[in-house]
Amino acid sequence: MKAKEYLEKFEKELPEVGDTQATTNLINMFVGEIKDLIDVRHASSEEAVVSILRELNQKWNALSRLDKKRRFKPNGFIKFVKHRAAQVMPSILLTINKNMGEILR
């Protein structure tokens, strides 16, 4: 899904479920896309995962630029993933920390 489509889905859902739930749903869709891309691309190397994280962080940044109300911070997605990885997947946290410059490129 493109950044514009994510924003449209968020804005459509917002009146029904509220800001917090709509944001949670948006983040969950991005996280789901990580899993989907890893499966589709058969990503097993650190470089492949870094590439996927960079791609999705760039998509998040595009979303933040498209959002005229400034609800999404640049690099907010990778910051969220890094925070959550510390709690659920320490091994990916090492990958993120080691490759943060490459992800934010």
How far apart, in whole angstroms, are the C-alpha atoms of residue 102 and residue 95?
Answer: 11
Considering the entire predicted model, what is its pTM? Answer: 0.82
| Dihedral-angle region of residue 73 (phi above 0 means left; psi in -120 to 50 means alpha; beta otherwise) | beta
Half-sphere exposure of 86 (CA within 13 A, CB side): 6
- pLDDT tens for each residue of 22-75: 999 999 999 889 889 988 998 888 888 889 999 999 999 999 999 999 999 999
- pLDDT tens for each residue of 90-102: 666 667 777 777 7
Helices (H), 1-105: 3-17, 19-40, 46-66, 76-88, 90-98, 100-103
**Domain map (residue ranges) of the chain:** 3-103
**Residue 98, both tokens:** 């080691």
